[in-house]
Structure 1
Amino acid sequence: MRVPAHAAAVTALAALFALLTWQVAVDGPLLRADTALRDAAARAAPGGGAVSGAAQVCADLGGALVALPVLAFGACLLGVRRRTPVPAVLAALSALAVPALVLPLKEVCARVGPDGAPLGEYAGYYPSGHTATAALAYGTLALLYVRRGPRAAPSSPAPRSRAEYAVAAAVVVNLCVGAGLVLRGYHWATDVVASWALAGLVLYALAALGDRLGARREQAGERAGER
């Protein structure tokens, strides 16, 4: 029996997130790679250097003050062009997913950061909030662009070349954010990868919800046209 690609991807993302969370919880051997990458990043991007400056710019792209306004503007623009509230709804859910999912996990895991300093009032570093914010904000925008609205003519995915550019841009930006966070010593590499996996699961859920909402709007429009 052949497993659908979407189901396999969701299973893989869930398994990866579960594995990393388990390793963080038990301080497993997989975390040795975190230490090696932290030390390599410190050598590659010493404070005050050009690499460190570029890494900081990349890391800032994952901040809520940058990523969420970009998501809000893009979703509103698509909603107006397509005459549907679906982009705004999905964007709002995407933005709410970070505090709803990431903050409780930070509290439970209470992981110390790469600098080893006590957490104090900070909840913890696992998973990375900046990574999740970037992955969901830019990923949701790519998702909204690729999946055209019910009023698009024809009602079909965006042209393949444009869709590929949108997805590629989201991937590149998120890779830059993750690399910047690790190079600047703000997060362990596993914090970043875990947030990518978690965001991927949320994006699959948003895609399914978007399809359902779009189908309902199409059905409502057809019923209204029959009257």
Structure 2
Amino acid sequence: MTLAVLLVAISWQVAVDGPLLGIDPAVRDAVRQLRRTLHSTLLNHLGVALSDLGGGAPAVPVLLGCAGLAAWLARRNGRPRWWTPVPVAVAAAVLIPLLVVPAKAWFARPGPFDLPLAADQWGWYPSGHTAASAIAYGTAALLLARVLPARSARQVGWTTAAVCLGVGAGLVWSDFHWLLDVLASWCLSGLLLLGLHRLLPRLLPETRA
């Protein structure tokens, strides 16, 4: 419920150019000042590298690879419907652009440099890289968690959370996205992953009914 309320509230403020959007330039200016103060080439390269982890090129192959591994482990362990992780992963990969691209086109929000959108640009809200990383890596982690021992599943979960947080931080640090773009995508992704978390015990049961 909290994720849904936050997503609706942020989307409403973006649609009406509401006062909540004042957070974004304040955070952007603070980050820019911090970058100038630190003047760290390493941090700047790290920010870009973390941002790139949210692209489809790394995220989708990781998702499909983890789904294949989960299916193989499920089959080895004699799970019913062991093949389920693969179509789930494909559905997640297809869902990312179906959710993000229409929203970007509809909200048509300019980016952190406040330049008007070009005719071929979709807009910055919500963050596609944030959504891609959270949905792809999150789905991969949930699929693996169904077939791995509890300790390994927790390690995968914490690693995934750290990577997704890193992607969001890298996008804001590098001026690729407003903070609220990132937060909204986390809310959207969180809702989808919570739904998948509840469905997976039925889709990939441990034993036959």
Name the CA distance, whole Å, in 2 between partners of 1:22 and 1:38. Answer: 21
Q: Which runs of 5+ in 1 are unaligned?
A: 1-10, 149-157, 220-227
Cα pair 1:44 1:51 within 8 Å, conserved:
no
Q: CA 1:74/1:136 → structure 2, altered by over 3 Å: closer, same or farther?
A: same
Q: CA deviation at 1:189?
A: 0.3
Name the CA distance, whole Å, in 1 between partners of 2:114 and 2:139. Answer: 33
- Render the CA deviation track for 1:198-217: whole Å, top value 9, x for unaligned: 00111122223322222498
- Render the CA deviation track for 1:170-223: whole Å, top value 9, x for unaligned: 11001100000001101000000000000011112222332222249834xxxx
Name the CA distance, whole Å, in 1 between partners of 2:35 and 2:85. Answer: 38
Match of 2:9 among 19, 31, 41: 19
- Render the CA deviation track for 1:131-177: whole Å, top value 9, x for unaligned: 000001111111112223xxxxxxxxx44332221111111001100
Residue aligned with 2:115, SS: coil
Aligned residue in 2 for 1:139: 138
Cα pair 1:61 1:67 within 8 Å, conserved:
yes
Identity of aligned residues (%): 43
Match of 2:25 among 23, 28, 35: 35
Name the CA distance, whole Å, in 2 between partners of 1:218 and 1:201. Answer: 28
Match of 2:73 among 68, 81, 103: 81
Asked if 1:106 is matched to 2:104, the reply is yes
Asked if 1:60 is matched to 2:58, the reply is no
- Render the CA deviation track for 1:98-128: whole Å, top value 9, x for unaligned: 1111111111111000011221111110000
Aligned residue in 2 for 1:115: 113
Residue aligned with 1:218, SS: coil
Aligned residue in 2 for 1:152: none
Name the CA distance, whole Å, in 1 between partners of 2:96 and 2:35. Answer: 28
The amino acid that maps onto 1:98 is I
The amino acid that maps onto 2:66 is G
Asked if 1:125 is matched to 2:124, the reply is yes
Name the CA distance, whole Å, in 2 between partners of 1:128 and 1:96. Answer: 16
Name the CA distance, whole Å, in 1 between partners of 2:88 and 2:204. Answer: 11
Residue aligned with 1:45, SS: helix
Match of 1:191 among 170, 176, 181: 181
Dislocated runs of 4+, deviation >4 Å? none
Name the CA distance, whole Å, in 1 between partners of 2:27 and 2:141. Answer: 30
Name the CA distance, whole Å, in 1 between partners of 2:61 and 2:127. Answer: 19
Normalised TM-score (structure 2): 0.89
The amino acid that maps onto 2:59 is A
Aligned residue in 1 for 2:78: none
Name the CA distance, whole Å, in 2 between partners of 1:163 and 1:78. Answer: 12
**Matched length:** 200
Aligned residue in 2 for 1:170: 160
Q: Which has the greater radius of gyration?
A: 1
Name the CA distance, whole Å, in 2 between partners of 1:147 and 1:213. Answer: 10
- Render the CA deviation track for 1:34-72: whole Å, top value 9, x for unaligned: 111111222233587221111001101111101111111
Q: Considering only aligned residues, what root-mean-square deviation do their CA atoms show, in Å?
A: 1.8
Name the CA distance, whole Å, in 2 between partners of 1:183 and 1:45. Answer: 8
